[in-house]
Structure 1
Amino acid sequence: MQIPSKPIHYSTKSQSLFQMVDTLVGIKGSSDKMLLYSENHNQSISGGQSFAEILFGKTLEQSSVMTDSLLRGCSLHKMIRLITFTIGGRAYLNFMGNEFGHPKRVEFPTESNNFSFSLANRDWDLLAKPGVHQDLLSFEKDMMDLNKIERIISRWLPNIHHVNDTNMVISYLRGPFLFIFNFHPSNSYDRYNVGVEEAGEYQIILNTDEKKYSGQGSIVQDQYVQKTVSRRVDGMRNCLEVLLPSRSAQVYKLTRILRV
């Protein structure tokens, strides 16, 4: 079992992405025995902080408009969950409430809190109105549905072929699917080169930056399909030149193979 709590640390400070990848991937050859999750309730019990509290602070409860702080928290929440789900082995676990960014920790009645039940609950009313919580849940559902339809996790293991600490970009392949993460807090890239083996057309099928997920919508619809360029990159025969908004991640699928 692996507990990938480190992505929060690495994505908010100047730490090596190589270390983050090593933490998530674990020991080579052990992927079938790994269970990954971005948060477990033990991390927040007895005075600790929940995943959402670390990312958002008080912003999630206090702000009704999209501030820079709230956008940062939303972006990292989606990216961390997506990379945890897809970069490791074949099993992923979600603890109730984490999928929609529940703002408070879980704390069961103990002697240390005078046996209080005040935090021993999940506030489902947060999903009753449009906003960040609904959008985070919508992303979670689409991420789960993508795997349900394509069986990405069970059919292929990841081939991590691009980790760039300077640009703060991670990319890997799972079968015909390309995952790209730009963790940089401010730098967006207009034509970022990332390697792929098969020549053809690749289409975005999941994008954390979409407005329906509380993103900025930086990638317009006519940029969702990209054709490969015949140039060796990352040890691969071809490459894609893609738009990478800051603090965002995209999943591309090879939809058309070109024989050259």
Structure 2
Amino acid sequence: MCIYIENVYVDYNTKIDKRPKPINVQYACLFKLDYVLGFSWTLELQSSLPSLGSLRSCCPGYNNCSAPAVAASSDRREGSSCPLLCHLPRPGLPRAVPSGSDMVACPASVSGMPTFALPVHDGGVGFDYRMHMAVADKWIDLLKQSDETWKMGDIVHTLTNRRWLEKCVTYAESHDQALVGDKTIAFWLMDKDMYDFMALDRPSTPTIDRGIALHKMIRLITMGLGGEGYLNFMGNEFGHPEWIDFPRGPQRLPSGKFIPGNNNSYDKCRRRFDLGDADYLRYHGMQEFDQAMQHLEQKYEFMTSDHQYISRKHEEDKVIVFEKGDLVFVFNFHCNNSYFDYRIGCRKPGVYKVVLDSDAGLFGGFSRIHHAAEHFTADCSHDNRPYSFSVYTPSRTCVVYAPVE
């Protein structure tokens, strides 16, 4: 499969820079990329869309956001760069891709403009997916708070807040969170303890235990509810500890503001992928969990399933339960409480078994779940589901159940 990431960089002179961006080699392995071409698309282009500006204050109606309507509106504006967006729909992209390659087009847009991922014949721009960019920002906002204050309904709303039939690629963090000035999810969770307590020959700390547990839960619930595709970013699959900072000298902006440099240092201008491969570090277990997530999707294809039902968002218990395809996902975000004989609803009757457990020892957990246990459904409706079964859900864990074939 070939992924074609179509963004357009537009400067103040409306020139297009078609220099391909590099892509992380792990992405190429995960998604089996044959050919990747990317562009950078800045806010100059998005700010030129009159309908987007209107949407920020009051919605003018979806009919004003279709590709033909936006193109017609922008054509009336002298010097507008909006036609660049509407004149680069997916049907025109194959010319840039080697003959015989499959292609998926995915734009990164913070605007929330409708119709990006709808077919051209339906009035859309014609891309196959869009990036679900609000999810990563939401996680950073939550990580600035105690997880004891997290609202389950708020998390679910952010992950599922997208238009029907508009496919999205979701991710827990990206360069926006990992560049200097912010911190990766792992660093928000574990901070300086990562320097001294990630080796398995040393005792862990409550901060490390909490951080590893929540890091796995954040990634799986993002993958489970956030969209039809999932993206890793340069080491977050194993909890890379530090930020990215490119070599730079001091700068003085036209406004007069002085920005200090980093003495052109290359110290943070790299990713330590060896950390995830080192089986004597706790990063290894976090990486193993990411691989297990991918294998789960490969086997059950739950991300693209037509069936999704969120049966529980319990604020007091801090529990989220949802169905995706034939799978049942159970998340317990409570910092202390583990629940025995916790009843969860399901769509199909039969016997269910554990197919993924964040608390498994292989993933750096405490092995509190018995994977050989069989869970028999009862003809007892629960949470508006026709059947139900009981589980043990330890604190700060996520477990996925599948019907026994």
Question: What TM-score comes out, normalization by structure 2 length?
Answer: 0.60
Three-state SS of the structure 1 residue aligned to 2:404 is strand
CA contact (8 A) 2:353 2:371 kept: no
2:381 and 2:162 map into 1 onto residues whose CA distance is 29
Distance in structure 2 (CA, Å) of the matches to 1:14 and 1:252 = 27
Q: Alignment RMSD, CA only?
A: 1.7
| 1:132-190 Cα deviation digits (max 9, x unpaired) | 11111111111101111222212334211211011000011112100110000110001
1:31-50 counterparts in 2 under 5 A? Answer: 31-32=166-167, 34-50=168-184
Q: Is residue 132–residue 226 contact of structure 2 (8 Å, CA) maintained in 1? A: no
Is the CA contact (8 Å cut-off) linking 1:25 and 1:31 kept in structure 2? no
Distance apart, 1:37 and its partner CA: 0.6
Q: Determine the C-alpha separation between the residues in 2 that align with 1:206 and 1:71.
A: 19
| CA displacement, residues 59-105 of structure 1 (integer Å, 9 cap, x when unaligned) | 12211322222111110011100000111220111111111111111
Residue in 1 aligned with 2:203? 65
Give the C-alpha shift of residue 124 in structure 1: 2.8
CA distance in 2, matches of 1:124, 1:198: 41
Structure 2 match to 1:187: 337
Residue deviations 1:189-241, cap 9 Å, x none?
Answer: 01111111211101110000001110011112443x20112211111111111
Aligned residue identity for 2:172:
S
SS at match of 2:296: helix
The equivalent residue for 2:360 is 210
Asked which structure has the greater CA Rg, the reply is 2
Of residues 260, 264, 269 in structure 2, which corresponds to 1:115?
264
TM-score, normalised relative to structure 1: 0.92
Distance, in Å, in 1 between the alignment partners of 2:273 and 2:227 is 31
Instruction: Say whether 1:147 aligns with 2:297.
Output: yes
Q: Which runs of 4+ in 1 moved over 6 A?
A: none
Of residues 58, 78, 92, the one that matches 2:230 is 92
Note the C-alpha offset of 1:30.
5.2
Counterparts of 2:224 and 2:158 in 1: how far apart (Å)?
Answer: 14
Who is 1:56 aligned against? 190
Name the SS for the 1:60 alignment partner.
Answer: helix
Contact 2:332/2:396 (<8 A) preserved: yes
SS in 2 for 1:57: helix
1:137 correspondence with 2:282: no
SS of the aligned residue for 1:153 comes to coil
Partner of 1:138, secondary structure, is helix
- Hey, what does 2:132 align to over in structure 1? 2
Distance 1:149 1:197, change over 3 A: closer
Matched, 1:246 2:395: yes
> Is 2:321 the partner of 1:171?
yes
User: What letter matches 1:53 in structure 2?
Assistant: F
CA 39–190 in structure 1, closer or farther in 2 if over 3 Å, else same: same
Residue 161 of structure 2, aligned match among 18, 26, 29: 26
Distance in structure 2 (CA, Å) of the matches to 1:46 and 1:88: 26
58-67 or 36-45, which deviates more? 58-67
Corresponding residue of 2:124: none
Q: Does the 8 Å CA contact 2:247/2:264 hold for their aligned counterparts?
A: yes
Q: Is the 8 A contact 1:192 1:241 kept in 2?
A: yes
Aligned equivalent of 2:376: 227
Q: What SS class does the counterpart of residue 152 from structure 1 fall into?
A: coil
Give the aligned residue type for 1:89: G
Question: Would you say how many aligned residue pairs link Structure 1 and Structure 2?
Answer: 254
What secondary structure, in the 3-state scheme, does the structure 2 residue paired with 1:76 have?
Answer: helix
Alpha-carbon distance between aligned partners in 1 of 2:313 and 2:163, rounded to the nearest angstrom: 17
Residues 2/87 of structure 1: CA separation in 2 closer, same or farther (3 Å cut): same
Residue 97 of structure 2 corresponds to none
SS at match of 1:243: strand
User: Does structure 1 retain, via aligned residues, the 8 Å contact 2:132–2:227?
Assistant: no
Q: Contact between 1:193 and 1:240, CA under 8 Å: does it hold in 2? A: yes
Q: Does 1:236 align with 2:236?
A: no
Per the alignment, do residues 72 and 176 of structure 1 end up closer, same or farther by CA in structure 2, a change over 3 Å counting? same
**Which residue of structure 2 lines up, in the alignment, with residue 78 of structure 1?**
216
Q: Percent identity?
A: 32
| Bigger mean CA offset, 73-82 vs 9-18 | 9-18
Instruction: Kindly indicate whether the alpha-carbon contact (under 8 Å) linking 2:148 and 2:334 is maintained by their aligned counterparts in 1.
Output: no
Maintained 8 Å contact 1:89/1:157: no
Distance of 1:89 and 1:161 partners within structure 2 = 18
Name the SS for the 2:237 alignment partner.
Answer: helix
Greater relative contact order (CA < 8 Å, ≥ 6 in sequence): 1
Gaps of 5+ in 2: 1-130, 250-260
Give distance in 2, aligned partners of 1:15 and 1:221: 29
Q: By how many angstroms is 1:31 displaced?
A: 4.6
The corresponding residue for 2:350 is 200
